[in-house]
Chains A and B, each alone.
Chain A
Amino acid sequence: MRLSFKNNLTMNCRSELLEVTVEARQVEESILSLLHTILLHRSTGKFHYKKEGTYSIGTVGTVDIDCDYIDFTFVKISSEELDRVIKKAVVEFKDALNISGSDGIGQISLEFYQKKKSRWPFSDECIPWEVWNIKVNVVNLANEQERQICREKVGEKLCEKVINIVEVINRHDYVPKMPTQSEVDNVFDTSLREVQPYLHKITYQITDSLGTSVSTTMRRLIKDTLAL
């Protein structure tokens, strides 16, 4: 099952692919940096609804993060809760990549979706409107010199990726409309205390060196969308 299946279900979902080639120890930081860059743009402050359907928005802080294994600094939203959630997903992906073997290629996806309420007995539908696929190729390096080159090269690559992300976002393609108070949970993740990202989920898919794909999370995803 590939993601194109989901694209057939939904009309407006756009899909972006970012590909990085990194050393094993750079996997976590490189993915975190890209995910956080995306989430920075796809999060707002907390909404406070007032009467007459107006709302005010809280303030979002930012933090600069220096990578340890890559010559790169990225900006992320200042929210510990969000950090934890994202980190957990990335570490899970990284571990899955490790288990699969060093030649593994993996893809981690950040999907923004809207919920559409369905009538009973059907559960809510999740309709993605933007999917970011980060394809990771893990390489093994032989010596310190190569690692040093890798540090710099991956840093430069990530700079390019950030610019790509910024380009896509600033096309101002479809984003869900600002919701009313009753609809806000269908558009935004309101569970966090300090910030309010769009509803999103992170899934991944590992291809081991034989080319077969191990997609346990894909099954979960399909279950969700089809509400089986």
Chain B
Amino acid sequence: MDSDLSTQDKKDLDKFIKFFALKTVQVIVQARLGEKICTRSSPSPTGSDWFNLAIKDIPEVTHEAKKILAGQLPGIGHSMCVEISLKTSEGDSMELETWCLEINEKCDKDIKVSYTVYDRLSVLLKSLLAVTRVTPAYKLSRKQGHDYVILYRIYFGEVQMRGLGEGFQTVRVGVVGTPVGTVTLSCAYRTNLALMSNRQFERSAPIMGIIVDHFVDPPCGSQRPANMGQPCNYRATDDDDGEAFAGVQDSQEVCTTSFSTSPPSQCFCTLSPSPSKLSKALPLDNPQFPLVPGLVTHPAQSIYTEFAKDDSCICSPFCLHMQLLSYQPAVLAGTPELCHTAANPSQTLHAGKEDGVLHPAQPYHGTEAHLTVEHMPNIPGSRGDNDIFSHSGEGRRSTSPSDLVETLNALTRKVGAFVNKPNARLSATMDLPFAAFAPRGLDSEDNDPMVHPPDSPSCMSPLQASLHSQGSDGSGQQDDFVMVDFRPAFSKDDLLPMDLGTFYREFQNPPQLGSVSLHISSQSMADDLVDSLPEKLAIYERNIDEFDAFVDMLQ
């Protein structure tokens, strides 16, 4: 009963609970800003740091929380909840977690308010700091930016967990007994993130070649957002002040403040299913195993369907439509020969990103994109050296001259690197998650657009024309071959007769060696050789004595 508690203690306790609630909200919201938090220890007490923890107070958040609490305290039946949700750039939103500060009836009369309760509330806050980094929404929030933002909503009253979907998990952060009740802090978080991918993808049309952050800094090379070092972006929220609070009538209405952080250093998220899932699906003895990128949107539809089926996957697909090179090194143990492709796509799309000068295949993610892997059993004697991995999109290497020529062809023809529709033949034979990206059957190279690319639609330079006179006639325009309309930024140049893109494509690689160029005469030369061989042999036989004498002279 309250009468057992001294007035001073009661006042203290109320204050503790109030500030604990405010600090809880701060910790949760700050943990979802998408940045790393760093505060300093101070040996001398400052008097303003509640619970002896350096937790900054974002004014808007405090304002919001105070408004919601409206002078009340969390109590029995009145929980304070912070709901974290995700909102995509298309307007879809999804609840990710709900943090709950509850007080139940179980009282601990003997506990000392000013020391023990305060101390334990401090420990509970530390636990909250630790746990907020551990739930799935943390990783999502670190990657927010263009595709989605993380929003929070504070409400008072009964906990609502309906929006978390099926199979949500709860984690209890901790409890602190007090003379008026037991303070419990817990979190319920969504585990099924796959819903979003289906819904989101049904709406949007395939977006080929659109880079949303065309002029933004490229993401950092590593997969993890290691040491992003972004400044705490509290000032950015000042702009939201006006609109965030203007529309709120009732204190219990939804009021969302969106924290759009500055463009992330990477927009990459773990798109494809974890490699363990992939490796299960891939038959190890099948020589043709697919690339595993999460590339284009047309075939990516099939990715999404595959992906969404797997409910246990807690990966965010949201970045897909702008993320044109997602890669997983699909290296299988024991595969002897590894060749490489697929930096090609990035060349066509990402050039022009920086300073208007075309750069060769900087894969979207910086340096790591070299691990897309293709196995090519049909090229005899191809070397499986590590030096085959290269960033600049050189085509397949092989030892036979005709293959080399085709390689060089492939080099100059970067367009059409995306294969749009899955090869029906391939999908029928293989049950693979990313069968859409599997390389074509290499047995029929005639149909392979990489080897015999279709005609370039515009600005076909004489160089290219001569190279492809043989190959491209037959194949014509492939149905499942998509032309990427490449418009690099700042590429208009009236001085040159051709645009920068074409210029670059043409002169990107050294010119063909004369001896290797595929020329009609060389083919007929072979024929001539065959025809003239008997005559030549006859001549040699006639002159055999002369030759013998020559040989004797040498010996």
Contacts and interface: CB of A to CB of B under 8 A. Distances in A.
A159 B133 CA distance: 8
A148 B131 contact: no
A148 B43 contact: no
A66 B330 contact: no
A107 interface: no
Contact of B41 (A56, A61, A149): A61
A58 B37 contact: no
Interface string B128-165: 01110111001100100000000000000000000000
A217 B224 CA distance: 36
B45 A58 contact: yes
Contacts of A142: 333
A166 interface: yes
Contact of B174 (A45, A143, A166): A166
Given A61-B41, A169-B127, 12 more contacts: A58-B41, A59-B49, A60-B52, A61-B38, A66-B227, A71-B224, A75-B130, A145-B275, A145-B333, A159-B134, A163-B131, A193-B43
A62 B53 CA distance: 8
Interface residues of A, number: 48
A45 B43 contact: yes
A79 interface: yes
A25 to B, nearest CB: 14
A194 B45 contact: no
Top 5 closest A-B pairs, CB basis?
Answer: A170-B174, A61-B39, A64-B36, A194-B41, A61-B54
A25 B39 CA distance: 28
B329 A145 contact: yes
A85 interface: no
Contact of B129 (A40, A59, A66, A146): A40
Interface string A160-177: 001101110110100000
15 contacts: A41-B130, A58-B44, A59-B41, A59-B53, A66-B226, A71-B139, A75-B129, A144-B331, A146-B275, A166-B131, A169-B174, A170-B124, A170-B127, A172-B120, A172-B176
A99 interface: no
B22 to A, nearest CB: 17
Nearest to B277: A149
Given A40-B129, A61-B54, A170-B127, A78 B40 contact: yes
Contact of A64 (B37, B276, B331): B37
A66 B275 contact: no
Nearest to A56: B45
A149 B130 contact: no
A194 to B, nearest CB: 4
A58 B43 CA distance: 5
Interface string A127-146: 00000000000000011111
B124 A145 contact: no
A100 interface: no
B38 A144 contact: no
A74 B133 contact: yes
A79 B226 CA distance: 21
- Most chain A CB within a 10 A radius of its CB, from B52, B123, B127, B130: B130
Contact of B53 (A60, A144, A178): A60
B331 A143 contact: yes
Interface in B461-495: none
Given A40-B129, A62-B129, A66-B224, A78 B331 contact: no
A74 B133 CA distance: 6
A77 interface: yes
B419 to A, nearest CB: 24
Contacts of B127: 41, 166, 169-170
Contacts of B196: none
A195 interface: yes
Contacts of A178: 115, 119
Nearest to A55: B45
A14 to B, nearest CB: 16
